[in-house]
Structure 1
Amino acid sequence: MKAVADMAPAAQTLTPPKRFVLALSRFWAWAFLALMIVFFVVTVPIVSNGAVNFLTVRNSQNILVAITPILLLGLGQTFVIIAAGIDLSVGWVMSLASVLSALAIRAVFNAGLPLFPSVVVGFLAAVAGASVVGFVNGVIIAKLKVPAFIVTLGSSFIVRGVALLMSENTTVIGLPPGIRAYGNDALVYFIRGEAGGLYFLATPEVSGELLRRMDRILPYPVVLTAIVVAIAIFVLRKTQFGRHTYAIGGNVEAAIRTGIPVDRHIISLYTLSSATAGIAGFLSTLRFTAGSAVINDPLLLASIAAVIIGGVSLFGGAGSVMGTVIGALIIAVLTTGLVMLNVEAFWQFIVVGVVVIVAVLIDQSRDLIIGRATRGPPT
């Protein structure tokens, strides 16, 4: 927040090239996302000789489903990093939550509880179990003053071991088959072509050619993630909790002097970070009808990359939830488009890595320009 607040008065004293860099630092991610979409819309049909199109309803929904876990992990990271922290445990917390939710759903359903209450119990088990990890991380970081990097790195190993022990180093199966609908059904179904149409809040009973022409629009996990994102945007932009988060990241000593309960707030931030990871683990259980202790492998770094690409400053005090959403979309569009162009998988990692480095360089250049403009010319 401080960086954004300083940008307007500082820009008045800048040369046009530096003003351009500042503008670029604020909107480059949106522009880059738009350019990528245009690029893949043009190139994918050319490479596939018209057999495949990038901009389709089905592909857009697949992208939204793909970013759901990355975005949920990134939401908590957004708050933590704005407050000048880091949480390296969320990937394994997601895995633990998946195992906890699967075990809880299986146990209460087998005990005679109906399907929907069993799913609710699984959700509560996932979020509560994940939140405990975040609370412990926050207490150690805030009260014992241990660096967040060390605490969350250590807890990631502990959580990994607990998840593997609870799952007995295997996938937790035996869940009621009906829960698959919660993780894979959608608000709207669209069947293209003859005898097709739109179906709201009802899964059409189709097969054969109609099934192949049916697209799911707004799957339930995407809807739940959108609700969580909307709440996070409101909390960060419109509440005292959000203002305190920016203040702590901007200058923790100043935050303490102004009476902000810094320790309590840091504990809340890490609890929040783990809670959103718990939601991601729960949705994974619903989607795959099983709990897995090893689902997190590629997701932690992808979530941090989404946060950085979205413009959240690694030094704290600046960033937004919408930036993280754009960062997650950039990663999903990049990887999806490259797959459709038949690009080797390792090139996807290289491209995403380059984008992350460019994002950090843009962030650094913005801070450097703002800092110089704020200090004024040398005397």
Structure 2
Amino acid sequence: MSHTLTPVDDLSGLGKRTLSERLRTSNTFWIFLVLLVLLTMFSLLRPETFPTFQNAQLLLIETSVLLVLAVGMTFVITTSGIDLSVGSVLIFSGMVAAKTMEGLSPGGDASAAGWGVITVGLVAGVLAGAVWGLVNGLLVAIAKIPPLIVTLGTMGAALGAANLLNNGSDINTVPTELNQTLGYGTSLGIVPNIVLVAVVITALGAWLLHTTRFGRYTYAIGSNREAARRSGIGVTRHLLLVYLLTGFLAGIAGFMSLAYYNSTTIAAHTMDNLDAISAVVLGGTSLFGGVGSMIGTVIGVFIPAVLTKGFNIVGIQDFWQQIALGAVLIAAVWFDQQRRRSRNSR
């Protein structure tokens, strides 16, 4: 009698594997080892500068905005999709928030604005990001246009719209209260508030992906979209929600960036989409879909950040940073392909 492998059968087979076998085939484990090696290497090379509290704090702050983007990107790539527009959506959301706060402030100077104005700016920026996410979701899930093409188009459209809002110039009149509280403020005098926001969002993303029906549907759609549809999963609705979530998080990231840089900094985020994708893939989320890890994404975000920080402290040229990161990224994708071939050959 023929027997079709069920999810229960598959899980039982995984349960029989030894810990060492699981670790050897885990992208997250290997990329964590890479991160440990980098931290150890730079700490040994510059013990007086790299392994310091101030450097660690700065590293956490600098990765916070990218981590929020990467959380949303993890969901998209796990469904075997892609979103090239998150960097532009971040810029647009920050611009909308800044213009909103500027418009509500006397004389157009938002630097002295209070929390009422700041809250309205936050809502406007996040909604702006969610609208772009909704547009992406409608075009991908309902119009059936490939996500690469859709998000390539909205990447340019969102960036163009952001430039139109202020004639291509940055807005530098950001509320001082916002900058001092979210941008540079700390809790207990130790943990930066912007890092706390990123940690909370990442924890919620991990909970959503790994413990809820929404997360299970995300994995199922990435593994086999047609099988997920036949099993009763509303694939169209779910993809719409995934892209909406990604746009929503890009909106939050835009507001965080505005608070930290005290400006819309249009030019500083043009590569954020590729940085987010790289971080997610480095963390073990498969570009082929069906495999994703929020813990891996966190590790993947820190790999390029540690490389950049360490190379700068050691005094190595920026060009070598790009080569090293590219090599690690290619190795991560190669490892993922080998794992898929090994699994499919069983």
Q: Cα distance 1:234–1:351, how it changes in 2: closer, same or farther (>3 A)?
A: same
Distance 2:295 2:32 in 1: 10
Which deviations, in whole Å up to 9, do the C-alpha atoms of 1:113-168 show, x marking residues without a partner? 96112211111111100110110111011111100000000111111110000021
Secondary structure (helix, strand or coil) at the match of 2:266 reads: coil
* Equivalent runs, 1:142-181 vs 2, <5 Å: 142-181=141-180
Distance 2:106 2:10 in 1: 58
Deviation of 1:272 (Å): 0.7
Q: Name the counterpart of 2:114.
A: 115
Secondary structure (helix, strand or coil) at the match of 1:259 reads: coil
Q: CA RMSD in A?
A: 2.4
Distance 2:197 2:17 in 1: 45
- The structure 2 residue matched to 1:58, chosen from 54, 59, 80, is 54
Q: Name the counterpart of 2:46.
A: 44
User: Match for 2:282: what amino acid?
Assistant: I
Q: Name the counterpart of 1:326.
A: 299
Tell whether 2:246 aligns with 1:263. no
| Equivalent pairs, count | 337
The question of whether the paired residues in 1 share the 8 Å contact of 2:93 and 2:254 is answered with yes
Deviation of 1:295 (Å): 2.8
Distance 2:26 2:157 in 1: 42
Deviation of 1:320 (Å): 1.1
Distance 1:5 1:364 in 2: 23
Q: TM-score, normalised by structure 1?
A: 0.83
Q: Name the counterpart of 1:197.
A: none
User: Match for 2:210: what amino acid?
Assistant: R
Which deviations, in whole Å up to 9, do the C-alpha atoms of 1:327-358 show, x marking residues without a partner? 00111111111111100011111111101001
Distance 2:24 2:49 in 1: 35
Which stretch shifts more, 98-107 or 170-179?
A: 170-179
* Equivalent runs, 1:1-379 vs 2, <5 Å: 6=10, 9=13, 19=21, 22-23=24-25, 25-45=27-47, 52-110=48-106, 115-182=114-181, 183-189=183-189, 217-373=190-346
Q: Cα distance 1:7–1:241, how it changes in 2: closer, same or farther (>3 A)?
A: closer
The question of whether the paired residues in 1 share the 8 Å contact of 2:89 and 2:247 is answered with yes
Distance 1:333 1:78 in 2: 20
Q: TM-score, normalised by structure 2?
A: 0.91
What runs of 5+ residues in structure 2 fail to find an aligned partner? Answer: 1-5
User: Match for 1:36: what amino acid?
Assistant: L
Larger radius of gyration: 1
Q: Cα distance 1:174–1:366, how it changes in 2: closer, same or farther (>3 A)?
A: same
The question of whether the paired residues in 1 share the 8 Å contact of 2:90 and 2:253 is answered with yes
Which deviations, in whole Å up to 9, do the C-alpha atoms of 1:207-256 show, x marking residues without a partner? xxxxxxxxxx3211111111101110111111111111111001111111
Q: Cα distance 1:70–1:6, how it changes in 2: closer, same or farther (>3 A)?
A: farther
Distance 1:184 1:355 in 2: 32
Q: Cα distance 1:5–1:83, how it changes in 2: closer, same or farther (>3 A)?
A: farther
Which stretch shifts more, 116-125 or 57-66?
A: 116-125
The question of whether the paired residues in 2 share the 8 Å contact of 1:7 and 1:370 is answered with no
Q: Cα distance 1:114–1:163, how it changes in 2: closer, same or farther (>3 A)?
A: closer
User: Match for 2:121: what amino acid?
Assistant: G
Distance 1:13 1:57 in 2: 40
Q: Cα distance 1:148–1:366, how it changes in 2: closer, same or farther (>3 A)?
A: same
The question of whether the paired residues in 2 share the 8 Å contact of 1:236 and 1:243 is answered with yes
Q: Cα distance 1:287–1:13, how it changes in 2: closer, same or farther (>3 A)?
A: closer
Distance 2:169 2:10 in 1: 52
User: Match for 2:252: what amino acid?
Assistant: I
Runs of 4+ in 1 over 3 A off after TM superposition: 2-8, 10-14, 19-26, 111-114
Q: Cα distance 1:5–1:89, how it changes in 2: closer, same or farther (>3 A)?
A: farther
